[in-house]
Structure 1
Amino acid sequence: MFALNAQSIAQTTPTGEAIAQAVMSGWALGTVKHCVLMRRGFNQVYELHFDNGRRAIARLSAERPRGEPNIAYEAALLLHLQARRIPLAAPLSTKDGAFSLFLDLPEGPRALMLFEFLPGDPPGESLVDIEATGRGLAQLHTAAQDYAGPASRYALEVPNLLDASLQRMLAAPTVDEPLAREFSALARDLHDRFATLPGLTRVHCHGDCHGSNNFMTDGPDGSRVAAFFDFDDTGPGLLAYELSVYLWVLLPRSLEMPASAAVLERWRRYLAGYTTVRAVPEADMAAIAPCLALRQFWIMGEYAGRIPVWGTQAMPTHWLRKQAPLMRAWIDLPTREGLSA
């Protein structure tokens, strides 16, 4: 038998039973009768059912390429928003008043957080729900304006989204020298583009509002209401980036496939919902298209940082060769005029 040391373990996956035991030890919420792994992605997410009928969601933070989890800022921002009646999955405090419990795992300590369970379904293709999502995000941004809690570890700005991501990509074994030159040139062009866009609006961003991190329900007046969750990527940053995330999900991943009329209508309705609450200055609208490329750089940097866990085929070379041309096409996308005509 060959023994591995802790430094040889990339990431373990605790069972639902193990998470249930940790929750009953750290939180005074009663007996967990059922706990199951829901999703293994950037983090590991579990659903819990308690004997008293309560449900909750546990998130076990995985090692992120960026560094430590942003727990103090995330929890404080969520409580700030909750106090201003923004519908969301609020964090649940432990017995000692903290918002995380660290589990001693083979690869090292990892933070476990617990959140309220949200009912409902994602907005999907419903135009009414998509518009309500945009409206809800604008209300969230407005409510966060006077946040004065702990500072964020991370900002959703060019240095973190682009520069740090590029460095992780350049270290990936599937990025060869031609790709390294191509991505580096594109990064320089993006820097030049953002240099022409001064005075962009900053907000406290959700960070990952792509249409599957909010659930829809009916409000007291019958209107559709968006409730938000999964603030793991939250932070202060560019409004244009925050808005670009939804469009980034909608757009085809091929230059040969133009966006359909249905996709364009979803984007229009999303913006329409947002702008019923908050105006989007022209400079920020102009920045949405280059922010699509920032988002793609960020996701590739996240994949590159997870190669020890996900493997090299999470970002194979043949896939990477398609990304720079796609991002260059996105940079000049007319996000207001062309998509709202």
Structure 2
Amino acid sequence: MIPTMRSLPAPHALSAHLADRYGLGFTGCTLLRSLVNDVYELTTGDARYVLKLYRHDGRDPDEIRWEAGLWAHLQTAGLQVPPVLLSDGEPVGLLETPEGPRPFIVSGFVEGTKPQPPFDDELYDAFGRQLAAFHDAADNYHSTYARRPAEIADRLHEPLEQILAVDRAEENLLRDLAAAVRNNLAEYSNTGICHGDVSLDNILLTKQGLLLLDFDLTAVGPRAADFAGVATTPYWDAFRTGYTTRRPVTDADLAAIPYLQIVGRIFNLRFHLVDKPLFRGTESRAEGWAADELGALRRAAGELL
């Protein structure tokens, strides 16, 4: 058999396999999204569930157990988080696939809608409050399992070298920006569990309020990284107002944000130039995402260098 880099399990097979594991009569399974991980909706006669199937050779099962434990901890702290289903007391399963074992979690389905434009200050104020509630709860999370931290070296220097291995056109720009990050974040010390991907893509509007989703990138790291994306929007002031009803945004956080934005953009650029082409093909580099990140990095260089 030829080694497989990435398979896509058939929905009907997943439905039958997981029905036995969880003792639930799944009657349907639909693929919702396939990108870094694969996400399916499972249905019974009267309920809906979500299967999150992590890629092979990404996070190991204990890192996923850390994530599942965080979900449970956030629920205990009063945040709206979908419950993780257990099988024989275990939150994480392993699915044997052609490329190797892939961890997965099955959770409850939360009814809600994605925010749609036009956006407003009220939405972002609530978003800021929700992130602050997440940070408050995460500060008290402890686990017997380990999760790799979101260290600057891992999110900047390693991605930078991988980018340059496939495209050296902007080498001077990227190396100069990386040096600026090193010089300006050397003394930044406000670290904690960060969500890792704070954007409107990862919230739902529900009858119970705003729900924060998707903990793929959650790990201990520089706390201001969770402000970096929102700080580029016209709603940063409203978001910050909501956040500071519970927690401060310090002067050190504000000074770090432009440099953490560089880290985030280089990390994203690696995904679009290196990671995604492995399973979407090299044509995906022309979709515009990489060009957008490079354009933002050029603008950052004009402001910071």
Distance 1:189 1:157 in 2: 16
Q: Paired residue for 1:229?
A: 213
* Secondary structure at the counterpart of residue 30 of structure 2: strand
Deviation at 1:112, TM superposition (A): 1.7
What is the aligned counterpart of 1:19 among 8, 14, 20? 14
Whether contact under 8 Å (2:135, 2:193) holds in the other structure is yes
- Look up the match of 2:41: 47
CA distance in 1, matches of 2:301, 2:225: 13
Cα deviations by residue, 1:249-306 (Å, 9 ceiling, x for unpaired):
xx5xxxxxxxxxxx41x22222111111111111011111111111111112223123
Q: Which residue is 1:73 aligned to?
A: 66
Matches for 1:180-219 after TM superposition, within 5 Å: 180-195=171-186, 198-219=187-208
Instruction: Map 1:282-293 onto structure 2 (within 5 A).
Output: 282-293=251-262
Report the Cα distance in structure 2 between the residues aligned to 1:32 and 1:21, rounded to whole angstroms.
7
Distance (Å, rounded) in 2 between the aligned partners of 1:317 and 1:118: 31
Residue 299 of structure 1 corresponds to which residue in structure 2?
268
TM-score for the superposition, normalised by structure 2: 0.89
Cα 1:26–1:134 shift into 2, 3 Å: same
* TM-score where L is the length of structure 1: 0.80
Separation of aligned partners in 1, 2:123 and 2:220: 26
Q: How does 1:129-278 map to 2 (within 5 A)?
A: 129-172=123-166, 175=167, 177-195=168-186, 198-219=187-208, 225-247=209-231, 251=232, 263-264=233-234, 266-278=235-247
Contact kept in structure 2, 1:44 and 1:61, CA below 8 Å: yes
Alignment of 1:110-121 (within 5 A): 110-121=102-113
The ranges of structure 1 where at least 4 consecutive aligned residues each deviate by more than 6 angstroms after the TM superposition are 331-334
Distance 1:126 1:92, change over 3 A: farther
Which residue of structure 2 aligns with residue 259 of structure 1? Answer: none
Identity of aligned residues (%): 26
Gaps of 5+ in 2: none
Aligned equivalent of 1:93 = 86
- Specify the alignment match of 1:308 in structure 2: 278
Give CA deviations for 1:120-152 in whole Å, capped at 9, x if unaligned: 112342432222111011011101212111354
2:49 maps to a residue whose letter is A
The one-letter code of the counterpart of 1:84 is A
Letter in 1 for 2:248: A
**Aligned-pair distance for 1:181?**
4.0
Query: Separation in 2 of the partners of 1:305 and 1:46?
Result: 22
Whole-angstrom distance in 2 between the partners of 1:309 and 1:233? 20
Conservation of the 8 A alpha-carbon contact between 1:200 and 1:284 = no
CA distance 1:159–1:152, change in 2 (3 Å): farther
Contact 1:168 1:305 in 2 (8 A): no
Structure 1 spans left out of the alignment, 5+ residues: 220-224, 252-262, 335-341
Hey, what's the Cα distance between the residues in 1 that align with 2:174 and 2:302? 17
Seen in structure 2, the aligned counterparts of structure 1 residues 331 and 290 have a Cα distance that, compared at 3 Å, is: farther
Q: Which amino acid aligns with 1:271?
A: R
Q: Deviations over 1:167-202 (max 9, x none)?
A: 321233xx1x3333432332222212212xx24322
**Structure 1 Cα separation of the partners of residues 300 and 148 of structure 2:** 25
C-alpha contact 2:56 2:101 (8 A) present in aligned 1: no
Q: 1:254: which partner in 2?
A: none
- How many residues matched? 300
> Cα RMSD over matched residues?
2.4
